Structure 1
């Protein structure tokens, strides 16, 4: 597996996080059912958030573009440091990992506690 480090936005605790992922290959076909689990580290048993195409937290934009959203109630439970996630297509058997891994920094925002 090759590794590429790309800078992007950090997750701010208590705020909704949005990120667009663009792949060189068509990883996100029109009828794909995709799930991502957010964990503290790959070996962690606790799932901090689950993102799916079914609930709209993963949104296919094209065969090569996917938008992800981690809702504020989920990020409110994160701690400063980082979280990891990868994705799998579950509309095929066996489930198919999409072949990438994200580690996203998590930061405590200065402006917080707003309702």
Structure 2
């Protein structure tokens, strides 16, 4: 939860690059062609895993030299995610739902189609 200055206590989207959050908050258009999805797969044991997807601008991905996919199987692998995690921001789900250009995120964010 986040305390949004516009909507009060609200849910958050925490899987998005800070540069995208800034553009959304300013009402600037984000094109789907400027977006990419980065998948992180954390292997808990032989059978179990957790999968996370993050949406970044292609510019951020290129600048930080990020891969499309990360496979994490031991604690030491987590350091490869440092620059990814530092590039993330959070935004109120209601602010995102009101964003004029949110359709650009279809296929990148689960549930963006219903916001």
TM-score normalised according to structure 2 size: 0.25
Q: State which structure, 1 or 2, has the greater radius of gyration over its C-alpha atoms.
A: 2
TM-score normalised according to structure 1 size: 0.25
Select the structure that is richer in helix: 2
Select the structure that is richer in strand: 1
